[in-house]
Amino acid sequence: MNPNVRDIPGYGVDADPKNRPGFPREESPQLRGDARGPPSPQESDVTVFKHGQPARRFPPVFGTAQPPQGVSGLLRRLAYKYPDHWTRHWMMLLFADRVDVAEHKLRRGLPRLAAAAAVVLAGGVVMRRLRA
């Protein structure tokens, strides 16, 4: 039995590219229809950390909703000084996330704490005057 020639793996690899089924994917992307040119890069006035070599560019759109701030921001800045394939880098980022949550809870609870302290202080002043 002779196998069919077309069943051989790699058959037709050197054939004319126009007749190859994968040919459209081998072309570089081109604008179609009424599409405008490539997107203009996003500008940012906050610190945005990135991995890798300095030659790597940001994607056209990236998140700036939560700029690094406080102790968690310092931890993130320190973490990005290490290569991203080191465990230390990722562990510091995870720890910075936990610190960020604690900072947020502290900031949210601070007005309540201040109000409770004011009530206790005012109560103490009133109690002192009543005793005198």
Q: pTM for this one?
A: 0.54
Q: Are 80 and 89 in contact (CB under 8 A)?
A: yes
First to last CA, the chain: 116
Tell which wins on pLDDT, 99 or 15. Answer: 99
Residue 113 banded pLDDT, cuts 50, 70, 90: confident
